[in-house]
Structure 1
Amino acid sequence: MQWTETVVVQAPLERVRRAVADEHEVMRWSAWPQATGCTCAVDGDGTSPGSEIVFTDPRGREQGRQRLQGVTEAGAGHGEEVVVAYRLSNRGPGGRTMHPEVDFRLGATGPTTTQVALDFRATPPLPPPLRQLAERVMAPRVRALHVKDLEQLKAHAETAAVEEER
């Protein structure tokens, strides 16, 4: 499975960067905890590579981790781009471990606007015929949650930007 979803956020790039690259902030806007019924906790400082969001089911069993792989920055001014890379390890089809990759590409489109592209890649750990079936079943739900994530990121970052201006 692979796709890219985008949104334009009415907030400066640095504000959006903080919302995406600080795992404590991610937990304020992410759609995943509610959708999965998991509780989440940050293991580490939440901003350094290697920090992880740990997903735990209602019985207290760990279901997955979302590790901050790194943050890369290039350019300056309106052409600046930031990539925040997350690598996941979570239970997939049949209880097998999956390793999805999620990258947030942030680009300043003006002094107070940022385009966010969410790039997603994952391969269910199944033989080809079953993998294709699993992807057909999983992809619509996962992609819809990514769209919801971007909507909630937009609302979170725009609200925070207004509060910071005060």
Structure 2
Amino acid sequence: MISWSESIDIDRPVEEVYNAVLDQQVLMKWSAWPAATGYSCGVDGDGTTLGSSIVFTSPTGEEMGRQTIVDVTDTTVSNRLRNRGPGGRVIEPEIDFRVERLGLRRSRVLLDFRVVPPVPAPLRPVARLFLNLRIRPLHRADLKNLRSMLETRAS
């Protein structure tokens, strides 16, 4: 398993930050993924309840993957993805967004990522390198975009 956590502090109340990681319509406003992949994204479901999915579609209209809400608590939104990775292999990462209160108007978001690469064990170091070079920077960009959107909207 390959895993990491990234975090960012945001000058907004915890409830507002939590709603921005829960609501998939809002999530697509700050996500770095559409621009990085060239995919368009739409929401299947209401965007906030279990089973709602962000659907990633290629420029030719082919569905390339889904990010589905699989669990919601007072502090955490758990998502599971099912996407086509390099070479057309199906990859099923797990991403949890945890939101912590740091003060009345300050919050921390933690993005926890986990995946078992769909490659033989001898190729896992290459997969780890690829994920760290390509995917982890997008997670960092996601969090920066989230902070920018929320703090800009507030001013």
State the TM-score bracket (shorter-chain normalisation).
over 0.9
Residue in 2 that maps onto 1:69:
70
1:84-108 Cα shifts (integer Å, max 9, x gaps): 1111000113211111000011000
8 Å CA contact retained: 1:69, 1:86: yes
Residue in 1 that maps onto 2:76:
83
1:38-93 Cα shifts (integer Å, max 9, x gaps): 000000000111000000011111110000112201xxxxxxxx011111000113
Residue in 1 that maps onto 2:130:
137
C-alpha distance in 1 between matches for 2:47 and 2:73? 16
Gaps of 5+ in 1: 74-81
SS state at 2:54 partner: strand
Runs of 4+ residues over 2 Å off in structure 1: none
Residue in 2 that maps onto 1:47:
48
Residue in 1 that maps onto 2:103:
110
8 Å CA contact retained: 1:52, 1:67: yes
Aligned-pair identity in percent equals 49
C-alpha distance in 2 between matches for 1:93 and 1:55? 15
- Residue 79 of structure 2 aligns with an amino acid whose one-letter code is Y
Residue in 2 that maps onto 1:4:
5
Give 1:159 shift. 2.6
TM-score, normalising length from structure 1? 0.89
> How many residue pairs end up in the alignment?
154
TM-score, normalising length from structure 2? 0.95
C-alpha RMSD over aligned residues: 1.1
8 Å CA contact retained: 1:93, 1:134: no
- Residue 137 of structure 2 aligns with an amino acid whose one-letter code is A
Gaps of 5+ in 2: none
Residue in 2 that maps onto 1:77:
none
C-alpha distance in 2 between matches for 1:138 and 1:9? 26
Q: 1:118-137 counterparts in 2 under 5 A?
A: 118-137=111-130
- Residue 27 of structure 1 aligns with an amino acid whose one-letter code is M
Give 1:115 shift. 0.6
C-alpha distance in 2 between matches for 1:107 and 1:137? 30
- Residue 12 of structure 1 aligns with an amino acid whose one-letter code is P
